Amino acid sequence: MESIRNAARGILYNLDKVIDGTNREAEDSGNQFNTIQTVISSTDKPSIMISYCHENKEFCGKLLELLSTHRDEFDVWIDQTHCQSASDLWEVIAYGMEQAHVIVCLVSNHYYESKSCRREFTYAVETLKKPIVPVLLEDIEPKGWL
């Protein structure tokens, strides 16, 4: 449970930086993991999209529960609650990513091996150029597309 609390605290910390626009030191580094930029206006309610592998859905569910205690501050988008009856799952996920101000990636070896997660991550970084907040669920060395 402590790892979930730590993840939630880290997400909230980074989301505050996105809102305030205070973390610009990595803008030119080319490392998407380190880049958090101002992407929302002060009048918008921020939205977080959580990208995760379904093998990690238990952790994701607990994280969602903790983040939901802040629903007056921001919205959380996750496929479990938005894709239950979608005929085109990828289209609905892509829309959720497009609407998000920041994307939280729950990174694990399962995430790295998943073609769906790779597709989401690549779309977020290369096409949408969204800020990414990685949450490392296990000791993993980012490589290749990650």
pLDDT cut 70: percent of the chain above it: 71
DSSP 128: I
The model's pTM? 0.72
Instruction: With CA atoms as reference, report the closest residue to 146 among 46, 75, 51, 57.
Output: 51
Q: Provide the mean pLDDT of the chain.
A: 77
Q: What is the dihedral of CA 122, 125, 129, 130, to 10 degrees?
A: 110
Domain ranges in the chain are: 2-136
Tell the CATH superfamily of the 2-136 domain: Toll/interleukin-1 receptor homology (TIR) domain (3.40.50.10140)
